[in-house]
A and B are shown apart, each in its own frame.
Chain A
Amino acid sequence: MTFRRRSLLALPAALALPLLRPGAAQATSMAVPAVAAPAPAFTGTNSNGAQVSLAQFAGKPVVLEWTNDGCPYVRKFYNAGAMQDLQRQAAAMGAVWLSIISSPPGEQGHVDGAGANALSQSRNAAPAHVLLDPEGRIGRIYGATVTPHMFIIDAKGTLVYAGGADSIPSTRQDDLARATPYVRDALTALAAGKPIANPITRPYGCVVKYRNQV
């Protein structure tokens, strides 16, 4: 009797174990590469129209910098010359610096090849290549959410750093001196063959303006 009573009276209760819908307002999923794992491969077009792939830099460290020249967080680094300094530090240790622009046409930060080269010249920037990624393909592979979002890949092709350019999420140049310079520290450690102290940090900045976003 007890069993039957349960089988009937527990019916509404049986439904209290439902599988409910996940939250409706979720972002479209994006791969997030793992630090200490092999960096995902990609091929893109640089500002001079040439094809550039990650594979061709095997044996050298590679730095990825997501950028948007209209973003106030990016401007903080460029106006102070801090990003340019990092680019030269990377070049000096034999690393390849790739600036990647994932803004599609019509969005802040979008430039064509000539525009990208003009920007590098006017800002005295020293990237090895500027990759134009208006479809957001490389950005989505790396899970780049903001500008500037920084990634460092070591000479063996392992992702060793992902995160912000430094530790203070602000647009004030004054903060540059007070912040922990995560990327500079990571490059220094990499050059010295030492472990990177902060391999994953909070990326901060402007939202990457992916095409076809909802």
Chain B
Amino acid sequence: MTARLLLLLLIGLAAPDARALESSIVSSPRAQASLVTEADAYLPGQPLRVGLRLRMAPGWYTYWQNPGDAGAAPELVFSLPEGATASPIAWPTPARHVTGPVMSYGYDGEVVLPVTIATTQALADRLVIQVHASWLVCEKICVPEDGDFTLTLPAGTLPAGTPTPSAEAPLFAAADAATPRSAPWPAAVSPEGVLSLRIPGLDATQVREAWFAPLAWGQVVHSAPQALAAAADGISLALRPGPEFRHAAGLSGVVVITDHAGRTSALSLTASPGPTIAPAAVLPLWQLVAFAVAAGMILNLMPCVFPVLAMKAMALARLSGTARRTALAHAGAYSAGVVATFLALAGALVALRAAGAVVGWGFQFQSPVFVAAMAWLLFAVGLNMSGLYGIGGGAVAGIGGTAAQRGGLTGNFLTGLLAVLVATPCTAPFMGAAIAGALAAPLWVTLLGFLAMGIGFALPYVALAAIPAFARLMPRPGAWMETLRQALAFPMYAAAVWMLWVVSLQTGPSGVLYTAGGMVLIGFALWALGLAQAGSGRRLAVAASLAASAAAIALLSTLATTPPATAAAPGAVQADASQSFTLARLAELRGEGKPVFVNMTAAWCVTCIVNEQLALAQPAVQQAFAARGITYLKGDWTRRDPAITDYLRALGRDGVPLYVLYPPRGGTPVVLPQILTEQRVLDELNRAGL
């Protein structure tokens, strides 16, 4: 191609009927403009795509169909022979340009504005496309530019009926990929301008940013903030209605959604008039902190913080008869444990979310191993309180320590730690807002929010310790403390049973067997420890204790490999004839020579969900799969799954979506594009000879 052009230039020929694919270029220091076509010939009766190609110098940009607060959209005026008509421009998704208080929507770098030209059979054997284009380019100043472009295309005569793609065809593919796709779900706008978009299966916590641009001026105030909130099965944006906004007329525009991995999806939509929705308020910082402190305090009262109350009661009882300074030191150690644990949880949450995991408050309870370990810990603490064994100034002294052992500040610190861990499955009023606000904010706000929650959680206890009147109210130390301690063992057992029940939900009967078996072993070990402490058969008891503990830990590792009781999260998975992806299943089907379609998806991947709705879940595609014996394997990467991660890496990807078509009888697998349409999938099936 280049050689031919060079030849033409060398011999000074610019044949007017050459298969010109790109017109002559109108050039300025600001932009280069030309007319390009997708194919190098046209078929009478078939549509053909042409486009205005603008290549802007660095810093310069041109505008979208709604330019925003300033500027103007490019215009194309076609002069076409009779029998040919041009469609409006299929506008690619714009970027936002913020200039002080002025919001503009446009393009920088390179953009192709595609137009489809419909032709009829009556056309001559060549199609002359003439267009007068005008566009505005702006940097600090704006300059209107225009140009006349002509392209002549011969009529295609290929028997296959498909003109060969031109060298400029990839530009159109890029423009298509950058064009918003029609949202397959309904959107609604409230009279106050809250736009809600339903995206079934979307995990809204994974949306990092979303913004809306209306198709026409005056619908919304372009420069106003657009508060993003999760709505039922989707997201909502609180827009500020503009002077032309009419609720009854709905709202048309483009919404651009970016997830935490930086993937962007653009959807075009027409929102129908919907009911009033109170816009979700974004918490100011002081309110976030106030909510967090309140949430922490109220968390002390939530019913599922049962065992925590027992621990607190014990700790308070131990304050009886102590000097105020000692009491404060204990309270301080306890608070430090609480706050440190809250901050550690915040750190772990932030790190896991940054790594793409879908985790929230109490995330550690998603792990059956953690829950089983908590069950054992609570059981062990309960046995200590029952008096089966004692702990000498060691690890959990603060919890079960007798009045004589009340010295341990470490114990108080660990009580704080345990209190928080046990409390995490509970949410208190204000907590949802505070945690979500903290997690969505920058790191220092996240840490501040969790710090505030920790302080709130520790506050009542510190207040009681700090008030001398309270210490005077406590009875003198005595036998009652031992009785109270034994009584408080029962909330511990109850909490352990609750943990066991959670394990049963997560892993089924075998998980219960391992966890409860471990409890027996731990009971045995601690009994042996108690005997040793009492001085009888010391060596034997310690040995038995160690053996039982080792067996218990071995059980824990077994539990880690126990398959989950329920199938993968329902999240993104919709009702279709898919099977769960495993490498073994894929290998088995390939071994049988059967065709396979693999879809790697996740609940937080907007593109995946749109592809499934627009292409894969379509009856035509599902029927094609069924008719051609294709097994549809779907892998859900919503929660990190090493098997899927490895599969993605093997195919050179580090994220979803990924679509792979395996032809029958060991044919070379085809990786489909990340933007799917029904037609594209069917074409690929045909191309693979299916």
Proximity bits, B314-330, A CB within 8 Å = 1, else 0 = 00000000000000000
Would B98 and A29 count as touching, CB distance under 8 A?
no
A136 to B100, CA, bound (A): 10
A155 at the interface (CB under 8 A from B): no
- Cβ contacts under 8 Å, B505 to chain A: 5, 9
- Cβ contacts under 8 Å, A30 to chain B: 101, 223
- Cβ contacts under 8 Å, B91 to chain A: none
* Interface-centre pick from A12, A32, A70, A200 (highest chain B CB count, 10 A): A12
* Interface-centre pick from B100, B138, B436 (highest chain A CB count, 10 A): B100
Number of interface residues of B (CB under 8 A): 71
Q: Which of A48-84 contact B (CB under 8 A)?
A: 70-73
Would A205 and B361 count as touching, CB distance under 8 A?
no
- Cβ contacts under 8 Å, A15 to chain B: 205, 360-361, 432, 435-436, 439
Main secondary structure of the interface of B (DSSP, over half): mixed
B613 CB to nearest chain A CB (Å)? 20
- Cβ contacts under 8 Å, B425 to chain A: 7-8, 11
B18 at the interface (CB under 8 A from A): no
A121 at the interface (CB under 8 A from B): no
Which of B141-149, B151-159, B390-398, B405-413 interfaces with chain A?
B141-149
A146 at the interface (CB under 8 A from B): yes
Would A27 and B101 count as touching, CB distance under 8 A?
yes
A4 at the interface (CB under 8 A from B): yes
Would B283 and A19 count as touching, CB distance under 8 A?
yes
Closest B-chain residue to A24, C-beta based? B209
Number of interface residues of A (CB under 8 A): 54
A70 to B224, CA, bound (A): 28
Would A8 and B365 count as touching, CB distance under 8 A?
yes
B639 CB to nearest chain A CB (Å)? 10
A21 to B425, CA, bound (A): 25
Given A72-B143, A206-B138, check contact A28 B361 (CB 8 Å). no
Cβ-neighbour of A20 out of B72, B103, B207, B501 (below 8 A): B207
- Cβ contacts under 8 Å, B217 to chain A: 202
- Cβ contacts under 8 Å, B101 to chain A: 27-30, 140, 143, 145, 210, 213
Would A12 and B437 count as touching, CB distance under 8 A?
no
Proximity bits, A121-146, B CB within 8 Å = 1, else 0 = 00000000000000010001001011
A170 at the interface (CB under 8 A from B): yes
Cβ-neighbour of B225 out of A26, A143, A204 (below 8 A): A26
A53 CB to nearest chain B CB (Å)? 23
Given A26-B225, A27-B101, check contact A16 B144 (CB 8 Å). no
- Cβ contacts under 8 Å, B365 to chain A: 8, 11
A180 CB to nearest chain B CB (Å)? 15
Closest A-chain residue to B218, C-beta based? A202
Q: Which 6 A-B pairs have the closest CB atoms?
A: A213-B100, A18-B436, A15-B360, A27-B223, A30-B101, A210-B100
Q: Known contacts A4-B304, A29-B223; can you find 20 more A-B pairs with CB under 8 A?
A: A7-B426, A11-B363, A14-B427, A14-B432, A16-B204, A16-B205, A20-B436, A20-B440, A21-B441, A22-B225, A22-B226, A22-B228, A26-B103, A28-B223, A145-B101, A146-B69, A208-B70, A210-B99, A210-B101, A213-B99
What residues make up the interface of A, taking CB atoms closer than 8 Å to B?
1, 4-5, 7-9, 11-12, 14-30, 32, 35, 70-73, 107-108, 136, 140, 143, 145-146, 169-171, 200, 202-210, 212-214
What residues make up the interface of B, taking CB atoms closer than 8 Å to A?
67, 69-72, 96, 98-104, 134, 136, 138, 140-144, 203-205, 207-211, 217-218, 221-230, 243-244, 280-283, 304, 358-363, 365-366, 425-427, 432-433, 435-437, 439-441, 498, 501-502, 505
